[in-house]
Amino acid sequence: MRIFLAGFHHETNTFAPSVADWAAFEAGAGYPAYARGEAMLEQMAGGSLAIAGFVREARARGWTPVPSVWAGAMPSNRITADAFARIRDEMLADLREALREGLDGILLDLHGAAVAEGADDAEGELLACLRAAAGSALPIVASLDLHANVTRRMLTHASAMTAYRTYPHVDMMATGERAARMLARRLKPGAPARLSHARRVPFLLPLNAQCTLMEPAASVIARVERLETMADLELSFAMGFSAADFAECGPVLFGHGADAAALRRAVDALHEEVCARRREWSTELLAPAEAVVRALSLAGPGRGPVVMADTQDNPGAGGDANTTGMLHALRAAGTGHVLGGAVALGLLFDPDSAGAACAAGVGARLNLSLGRAVPTWDGTLTDAPWRGEARVLAVHDGNLPLHGPMTAGATARLGPCACVEIEGIRVLLSSAKAQMLDLDLFRFLGVEPGAMRLLVVKSSVHFRAAFAPIASHILVAKAPGPMPADPGDLPWRHLDPATSPRP
């Protein structure tokens, strides 16, 4: 069997300040850099993404992978038209060449929440183009991120899709392996046709509430897996990325199966449970000062750190990881002195300050301006940069292997990085945007997370995979930033009127 492999990931926040141009895909940042052909296979070796799961399962089955394009960029505002066209056209060119040599199936590692200039449903557009080139008979199976905004075009043009079942996403590779098994089922001679059924949830889910370590998401995903095994079904709950202003933004329950009645019953039962628990889809959010006061009341020696999520500046959801609301709140409360310097914040994206600190060297004291005031969805600016004297504690070139639950086998490439100390607070500066989802992203600059009493992380939920085991408490802070913790705060213009922006 010859199986075409490709990947395309972008989680689009149409209210965010920055766009994803071609340079963003070339860099990759939190993703592997753009690659094509055999270079893509080499780059994915040992990684944890779904496409690595494709390769492992394909080779175990004796299939021949036919590699095309890998394209991934950090979440931001829309993908520029030229970047999307280049990714689509190179993938299509590879597919047409592969078809001339003979092809048995297609596996796609998609995010499912990409919006491009001129293509609100970027994955639907891509699938439609691939289907037109491949014809109606060739099976196309896609893996999706749990935050996918699943659309009618995606369901129409893919033979089957399957979404991650964990948030934090610790099952990306397992999802890729599952997708490959779904393709194998469709390649089996004489296999019965498998139908699709989907139900849209009539309200958006806040990002923090989608965590599958907590209720109600944990119970819904457990039920997905029970129903799937009971009736030979392939079921998914794509919870949606609630910051893409187009009509089909939002959660979708969907599945595939040979027994149409059993499939409909299962999807409808899941839809009923999600809607019946509507009021449970929420998370406590604290103002910055309130979060710091509570953290100080909880922090104690030998207890493990209190971890605070700076959720609205999460670079994994469209923020630029450069706002200073939490830094100002930490300083105002004197946390560095109260906690004996066992306070750290990271990663703050500030290439200029990181470069200046690296040039000055360890031990240097220099005046810095940290962070930026950035516009948010309502036209206001976030907090002003912090300005003052800082002491350089550590510097690094930013290339480091990662070992966390989500990132094992990956390498971060963050450019010049530094840890500076401000009034007893350690601030980790990077030259590339990266979500704080791995303990190594503190350790590489000399900060041992378990030895801290208070940690602030630029993340919403992914940090929990690595940090929950060492944390005494976890708090979610709502400092001003580009990614709303409450989607009801956004000025929606194109969302389907049948979809409520709040549970």
Same domain for 137 and 269? yes
439 in any annotated domain: yes
pLDDT at 452: 97
Same domain for 83 and 188? yes
**Token pair of 26 as six digits:** 């070339």
CA 80: distance to chain centroid?
19
490 in any annotated domain: no
Same domain for 354 and 270? no
pLDDT at 378: 85
Domain boundary among 229, 252, 280: 280
* CATH number of the domain residue 124 falls in: 3.40.50.2300
**Token pair of 44 as six digits:** 């994915």
399 in any annotated domain: yes
491 in any annotated domain: no
Same domain for 328 and 253? no
The per-residue DSSP string of 196-208 comes to EEEEE-SB---GG
Same domain for 297 and 236? no
54 in any annotated domain: yes
Residue found under tokens 């907090």: 383
For 216-256, what is the HEC assignment? CHHHHHHHHHHHHHHCCCEEEEECCCCCCCCCCCCCEEEEE
Domain count across the chain: 2
Domain boundary among 280, 313, 336: 280
- For 232, the domain range is 2-280
pLDDT at 408: 86
Which residues contact residue 136 at a Cβ distance below 8 angstroms, ignoring those fewer than 6 apart? none
Alpha helix ranges (H) inside 319-404: 325-332, 335-338, 351-360
Helix or strand holding residue 297 (H, E): helix 288-298
The CA-atom distances, in angstroms, between 314 and each of 142, 156, 336, 412 are: 26, 33, 23, 17
Same domain for 258 and 329? no
Same domain for 203 and 339? no
Q: Is 231 exposed, middle or buried (0-12, 13-18, 19+ CB in 10 A)?
A: middle
270 in any annotated domain: yes
489 in any annotated domain: no
pLDDT at 226: 96
Same domain for 265 and 372? no
Same domain for 395 and 478? yes
Quote the CA–CA distance of 122 and 109 in Å, as a whole number: 14
Same domain for 341 and 241? no
Averaged over successive runs of 10 residues, the pLDDT of the chain (503 residues) comes to 98 94 92 94 88 95 97 96 98 98 98 98 98 97 98 98 98 98 96 94 97 97 96 96 97 97 98 98 95 96 94 93 98 97 97 98 98 90 96 97 90 95 98 95 98 97 97 97 93 97 96
451 in any annotated domain: yes
- Residue 252 pairs with which residues in a beta bridge? 200, 238
Model pTM score: 0.95
pLDDT at 410: 85
Which residues contact residue 135 at a Cβ distance below 8 angstroms, ignoring those fewer than 6 apart? none
Same domain for 142 and 15? yes
The CA-atom distances, in angstroms, between 207 and each of 69, 104, 146, 324, 401 are: 29, 38, 11, 21, 28
Parallel, antiparallel, or unpaired: how do β-strands 417-422 and 195-200 relate?
unpaired
Same domain for 84 and 16? yes
